[in-house]
Structure 1
Amino acid sequence: LRLPEAEQKALAGLGAQVDSEVVYRSLLDEVRAQGVIFASMDQAVREHPWIQDYFMKAIPPEDNKFAALHGAVWSGGTFIWIPPGVEVAVPLQAYYRMQTEAVGQFEHTLIVAEPGSSVHYIEGCSAPRFARSALHSGMVEIFAKEGAKVRFTTVQNWSKNVYNLSNKRALAHAEAAVDWVSGSLGSKVTMLYPTTVLLGPGARTENLAFTFAQDGMWLDSGGRALHRAPGTTSRLVSRSVVQGTGKSVFRGTVHVYPLAKGAKAHVECSTLLLTPGARTETIPILNAETDDVELGHEATVGRVSQDQLFYLMSRGLSQAQAMSLIVNGFVSPILKEIPLEYSIELRGLLEMSFEKAIG
């Protein structure tokens, strides 16, 4: 997996899990000296009993049937605790891989960022293709306390027989910031809607996502922002590329509660259809229980411009190269939010998937 090499180059800490077993875990000495805890969930629940104050509190088992399933059979995952005022300068990362046929993976990720702290966590997910289907039903809970900043980046390239049905939710207190950044290139079916509950005045969240749905794939994604305090802000942005008989669905939900006066929210979805059989749906939901709000939504759907394609091919590019360049430009607003090392790898994965898809 070349994990130590990646760690030395760009990471403060790194973990890896294959199926249900944690196979690697490391943290830089200077980060450990700051008091940061970066451990597997199995180890953390044994060594830190106070975790029970947070574990499955943001997403209780009764929230939905997949949360109940996860609560019953979870194994592995990551626990991160950032002390008050500590800023982790470089990202922490975990890598999850399903290596066994017809397996289920139920890792649990719990991040607690104390007041004034900050952290960037990156998770990567992949699996080889087998004859039978597999299930991924992980859970992410984030507790961002007063003034804390948490960025959660996900890059998933599950094989096309994986059902990716996970739960992700953050609780953001006063002046806290929670950002979700994701790139989805694989799976047979994905249903994923990271949610941020804005509990304190001035809390904010941003959800940036891109998906590439190919033949036989159904990528159903989006995000939710629940405004429960005044002066809170949210921004949900999606870029989707659909090829062959793939389908992309975006569900963006904003709910402003009565006490959230002065809340601001923006929902944006853009989709690029590459073939006649490609399909897309946009399902925005904006609810306001107070008049003192600013809510906005925009959605666009289009196809690759033949003029752009002709121009690029007239400059010596093949059709595959020209289409790849157009697609990369379309999703660049999302990719630029990912650290450079991972953005380059993600562009490579996107190009390989794209070239395979068009021949």
Structure 2
Amino acid sequence: MKKSILAAMAAFFLFAMPVAAHPPIQVYVDGQTVSFDQAPVIIDDRTLVPMRAIFKALGSQVTWSEPNQTITSTKGGDTVVLKIGDTGLYKNGQLVYTMAVPAQIINERTLVPIRAIAEAFDADVAWDPIGYVITILSSGSEVEGGYHTDVKADDGTTVLSFKMDLQDSNGSNGTKIKDSLEMEVKSLAKDFINDFENQAKKEYESAKVQGLPFTPYYFVGSYELTRDDSKYVSYYGTSTQYTGGSETIRGCTSHTYSASTGKELTIFDIIDDSEKELHNFFVSSFTALMEERPKSFYSNGKDRLEVYLDEVGFYVIGDGLGFYLPPETIAPNETGIVSFTVKYVV
């Protein structure tokens, strides 16, 4: 039986308001969960993780020099070096990354900034700010679910890469659902290549002539299951893309299916509220978030919300629903995806 989401308003204010605590951070490297003996931590919006576990997951060897407080890791022909408290990360003797937060020792464990380490070994990193999930696709890895393709210059150098991982559902309609999502992913890849292939090739050739470094364009992301049972199969997808310049663009999408039929569902297949009631709920909920953290939103965020109400997405979790708005709707790109969850049984 469908339920009214308005009945969950009180739960929203109890469970969805921003607080310092957050869900445990989960890290996946090439689809495999990485286990840590010290929980990852977030410092100044940067995630740090125990060094040995992440280097092992990336397939590299690591050594620790106690006298110099220095970490050295090797993989193939590459050597990465960083020092406790030092913001410089060196690859093959060259400074390649200045970290906002350096490696440090916490609870007698050496923690390193995960994005800097992964990218130093040419891996792609995606961050899910709703589930606190970090997905890393290492250089040369195969994507078992989803889609992966590269575009190369005439000399064989990769100038553009598309990788979108896809977690499989275990339900009876899992194959049907997967086929639908894979079609969407391939369409995304086609559009990304059509839009940026020529631009990436031109930028690469220009950089080569001038002897300048070139960063390949990329689109990396993943579809993660937020619920997979006899009633619902729900996916939440996040992506990060780089197309030159100094900024990356983050995106999000979601799909929820009936587990019994494989049919994709709208929010009105799940709840009884009218469109007007739902819009009023969104206005109240997102306004509460803006009033709690005004500096994270556009100054005219409340006016923009009225324009973007139809872009609110949803996904189903074990004990409720999640709602979100993409970056640059009511908040700038650096704020990321704006979201909240409502706890009730669906």
| Shorter-normalised TM range | under 0.3
Q: Which of the pair has the greater relative contact order for Cα pairs under 8 Å at 6+ separation? A: 2
The structure with the largest strand share of the pair is 1
Q: Which has the larger radius of gyration?
A: 2
More helix by share: 2
